[in-house]
């Protein structure tokens, strides 16, 4: 009984730490999700072709890796947030440019 109690309390502490690490950057996560939805919407509407979508997805993956690296020590500094924010700004501009250019899925 004592082992079970210790195991359950250990798992509870571990899960609390995991949840805290997941919610460390909610603004960055929300923005990342919005940009991924913009890419998906562009694919479904035909504003983005496969090549453009792949390029934008790779850029989102790089931003995700930046966030994971910054969050690896459970503290995201202001400098790290600024770098991630700048990368997200660039990605947002790239998404807008690719969605509004004259080429699309039907022209390739």
Q: What are the tens digits of pLDDT across the range 9-53?
A: 666 666 665 544 455 789 999 999 999 999 999 999 999 999 999
In total, the chain counts a number of residues equal to 108
Q: Where are the domains of the chain?
A: 26-107
Residue 102 pLDDT: 85
| Alpha carbon distance 64, 70 (integer Å) | 10
Q: What is the dihedral of CA 79, 83, 85, 89, to 10 degrees?
A: 150
Residue 5 CB burial class (10 angstroms; 0-12, 13-18, ≥19): exposed
pLDDT in tens, 54-100: 999 999 999 999 999 999 999 999 999 999 999 999 999 999 999 99
């Amino acid at each position: 009984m004592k082992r079970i109690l210790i195991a359950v309390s250990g798992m509870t502490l571990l899960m609390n730490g995991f949840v805290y690490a997941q919610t460390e950057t909610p603004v960055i996560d929300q923005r990342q999700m919005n940009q991924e939805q913009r890419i998906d919407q562009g694919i479904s509407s035909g504003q983005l072709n496969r090549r453009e979508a792949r390029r934008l997805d790779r850029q989102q993956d790089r931003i995700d890796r930046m966030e994971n690296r910054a969050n690896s020590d459970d503290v995201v500094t202001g400098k790290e947030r600024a770098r991630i924010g700048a990368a997200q700004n660039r990605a947002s501009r790239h998404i807008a440019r690719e969605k509004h250019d004259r080429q699309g899925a039907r022209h390739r």
